[in-house]
Amino acid sequence: MRGVSNISGLRDIRSHNSTSKRSIPRIQSSAHLELYVLGKEKERLEKEAALLEKRNQAIGRRVGDIRQQAEALEESASRAEGRTGDDEGRREGGKPAKKKWKTFSMNY
């Protein structure tokens, strides 16, 4: 199920406030406020970039672990396949060995 966060490009949509469009022209005294807001946004984005980098590293480590596990399982499967191939359950003549029935006596 796709959510809002899965839609491509949705995070890149700039809102009315982020495009700096205003109905009232800017006043010189609001430059300090604008600098403060821009500084906070920059801090937030830098923090988000650091979190994304950490997450990317964690994903890379997990992918590496999965590859190692898959290689080990493939190797063990190929060894097991080689062992249980044609040798098991055969006699010298090449015919399959007959399995003996297990019997037991029953008293009525």
Query: For the segment 74-89, what is each residue's pLDDT rounded down to a tens digit?
Result: 999 888 887 765 555 5
CA distance 41 to 48: 10
CA distance 52 to 62: 15
Residues 10, 4: contact at Cβ < 8 Å?
A: yes
Query: For the segment 11-48, what is each residue's pLDDT rounded down to a tens digit?
Result: 666 665 566 666 666 666 678 888 999 999 999 999 99
Helices (H), 1-108: 31-83
* Whether the model pTM is above 0.75: no
Q: Tell me, what's the pLDDT at 74?
A: 92
